[in-house]
Chains A and B, each alone.
Chain A
Amino acid sequence: MTAARADRLPAGPVTDRLWAVASLVVLAILAVLVTDTVQRNWTPGPRINVQLGEDHYRVEAAEAESLETFSRAYFNTGSEAARTVLQRELEAGVADTFDEVRARLPEFADWYYSLGGEYSRLSMAALARLNLAEDGYVAGRVAEILFPEPAWETALARLSAEAATRLQAQGQALREGWLAELARRLEPDRVPAPLPGGGSTPIPTFRPAAFSEALQAQEQEIFAARLGLSTVAAAGVAARVAWQSAAARRAAVMGRAAGGRVAGRGIGRAGAAAGGGMTACAAAGPYALGCAVVAGAVAWLATDWVLLRVDEALHRDTLLAALEHGLAEVEQQVQVAMLAAHDAAAAAYREHVDEEIAMTFEPLRAGVVRP
């Protein structure tokens, strides 16, 4: 292209000036626009800051819902798993406690088949019949011997305390597991920590550690309040239940034999006392009456002792088996009661978790920072 060819172009200076004017107009418009307009920024949507310890994450607001769902599911699943473990441990603990009770059964049988036991039972039964004493003397003795205070209540209190401790440990493990899983899920959304001295982030911030602390603050109170001693675990109630169950079973097993044995024992005692007294004191002269009374009493006691030994030899095992059955029934009731207490505590805990989750996530989803 040469200057001569360019000079031949038909456009000429007028057209050129028009182009120049148009250019200056466009330039002026551009200058105004450039001064007043800022770059259009793109953000993927409302964001939520998540702060886990020193680590910061940023997630879309919509993801808060999935975090909420995950949190609810995690705590519910964790609670169910914890219940299974705790049930097993609770059953083992109650079984251990009742093994100690069972170890005292021979002591009770010894008392039951002793002369003192026999006469105190008869005396208290007679007084109860005359309304001079309350029923349930044997049940009382069962409570004294099998469920002695404070050993029994201490053992149950220890069980409750251990259950509460275990629940708290499980709660802590749940919280720690939740935080770890949360960190794992949030890892792709990790962002740098704000610069020191920088302005506060104007977007809602979720602090799982604070959430976890809020859960922990209520745990102890919930578990301690819900896992108190159950009614059935009280020594008196447990003994009554055990003895009633044992008596019912014993009666079912022995049937008429029990009644016949008591009647036979009475007839035997009377016959032996009268015959023994008269025979031994016939030659005692003026002291024959006193001698006969003493001899009769001795014969009475001796007969009772012999009959008790016979009764023991014949029925001690039956009595022990019946008591074992009664204890098993009480053991099961204690287990059920304690598990129910645990379930109540777990339900209260889950309710608390749900409340905390709702209180935490709803404002986040709404884009409001929780104070």
Chain B
Amino acid sequence: MTGRDLFWLVAATALAWLFHLYVRLLPTAVVAGCWALLTGAIAAGLFRRAAIRRRALLAVYVAPGSPWQMRLRGGILMRLGALVPAGFLALVLALGLARLEPSTAWLALAVAMPVLVGLRRLLHRRLAPHVAADYVPLLSWQAAALATGLALLGVLVALAARDVYPDFSGVSLERAAWHMVDQQHARSALAQALLQGMAAFDGLRLWLAQQLMPTPGTSVLQLLGWLLVFAEGLLFVWSYLLMAYGVLTMVGTHDRGAR
């Protein structure tokens, strides 16, 4: 079912792009709805992953006929355990999608989907003879997601390096952060507050980069600055791939893998 997986992932990317396109015009209720949808998708993926791991654990440690097989298979607690990080990651993802400006980055996100699906298919075939059948879909996904995610991260960091930023070399930190915050507008007060918070963080990062890193390539702080960019990108890419995993889980094609 590679084609179907691909379709749903491309559709999810298209929806994410529509969210990016109109997020500043959406009312708070719709923004919150989008966040809930992302949370649901990510939570579904996280829950599925946790359930597979739990199943593997139970298969090893608990007798097949024991009632503990049922009790420990994963219920409300596991769902809540997935929901909490999913809410946070969905927030990161929503903000990242809303702020992902260059069209090249969106092309990269879109192209990453067929790459991910194709890679997973390939890995599935290669891993199938060596890995337990129940674990192959998850492992093949994780390996494909890791490779795709790293490539995607590289593209995003490269795009960030090529981007043009305002000159904060002659202004105070407050003014720099304020300037970045002032550029963010949205109909939804909640969305605006979140976007402004992220913009303030950008202002801090850029100001630090321009004030404390006068000699590119020689400063440890410069490395830290880029690590911040890297970490932000990593969190975004990770959330995005988790969302993709959750989408496949929700539409029900996931665990069939790609044969």
Contact = CB atoms under 8 A, between A and B. Distances in A.
Given A30-B110, A191-B182, A195-B167, A16 B3 contact: yes
Given A6-B257, A31-B110, A196-B171, A39 B11 contact: no
A197 to B, nearest CB: 7
Nearest to B98: A39
Interface string A349-368: 00000000000000000000
B175 A30 contact: no
Interface string A25-45: 011001101110101111110
Interface in A310-365: none
B110 A34 contact: yes
A1 B137 contact: yes
Nearest to B110: A30
Contacts of A31: 107, 110-111
Interface stretch (A7-15, A129-137, A159-167, A240-248): A7-15
A201 to B, nearest CB: 11
Contacts of B166: 195, 198
A40 B17 contact: no
A9 B25 CA distance: 43
Nearest to B254: A1
A17 interface: yes
Contact of B6 (A15, A23, A41, A197): A23
Output the residue of B25, B110, B114 with the most chain A CB within 10 A.
B110
A41 B24 contact: yes
Contact of B7 (A22, A40, A192): A22
Contacts of B255: 1
A7 B178 CA distance: 58
Output the residue of B4, B133, B166, B255 with the most chain A CB within 10 A.
B4
A310 B11 CA distance: 123
A41 B20 CA distance: 10
The secondary-structure label for the interface of chain B is helix
A193 interface: yes
A33 B13 CA distance: 12
A18 interface: yes
Nearest to A37: B21
B256 A1 contact: yes
B103 interface: yes
Contact of A3 (B6, B22, B133): B133
Contacts of A15: 3-4
A19 B258 CA distance: 13
A44 B185 CA distance: 8
A196 B7 contact: no
Interface in A94-149: none
Contacts of B14: 26, 30
Interface residues of B, number: 46
B256 A40 contact: no
B106 interface: yes
A251 to B, nearest CB: 82
B128 interface: yes
Given A1-B137, A34-B17, A26 B11 contact: yes
A220 B255 CA distance: 87
A80 to B, nearest CB: 40
A20 interface: yes
A2 interface: yes
Given A39-B20, A39-B21, A3 B128 contact: yes
B83 interface: no
B257 A23 contact: no
B4 A19 contact: yes
Contacts of A21: 3
Nearest to B118: A20
Nearest to B24: A42
A7 B256 CA distance: 9
A39 B114 CA distance: 24
B172 to A, nearest CB: 10
A16 B4 contact: yes
A39 B99 CA distance: 9
B10 interface: yes
A195 B3 contact: no
A11 B6 CA distance: 15
A42 B166 CA distance: 21
Nearest to B9: A23
Interface in A168-200: 191-193, 195-198
A30 B13 contact: yes
10 contacts: A1-B256, A7-B259, A11-B4, A19-B3, A23-B6, A26-B11, A40-B21, A42-B25, A192-B182, A195-B167
Interface of A: 1-3, 5-7, 9, 11, 15-24, 26-27, 30-31, 33-35, 37, 39-44, 191-193, 195-198
Q: Closest 6 CB pairs between A and B?
A: A19-B3, A20-B3, A192-B178, A16-B3, A23-B6, A23-B7
Interface of B: 1-4, 6-7, 9-11, 13-14, 17, 20-25, 101, 103, 106-107, 110-111, 113-114, 128, 133-134, 137, 166-168, 170-171, 175, 178-179, 182, 185-187, 255-257, 259
Given A41-B24, A192-B175, A195-B167, 20 more contacts: A1-B255, A6-B257, A6-B259, A16-B1, A18-B3, A19-B6, A20-B2, A22-B3, A27-B111, A27-B113, A34-B106, A39-B23, A39-B101, A40-B25, A42-B24, A42-B25, A42-B186, A192-B179, A193-B175, A196-B167
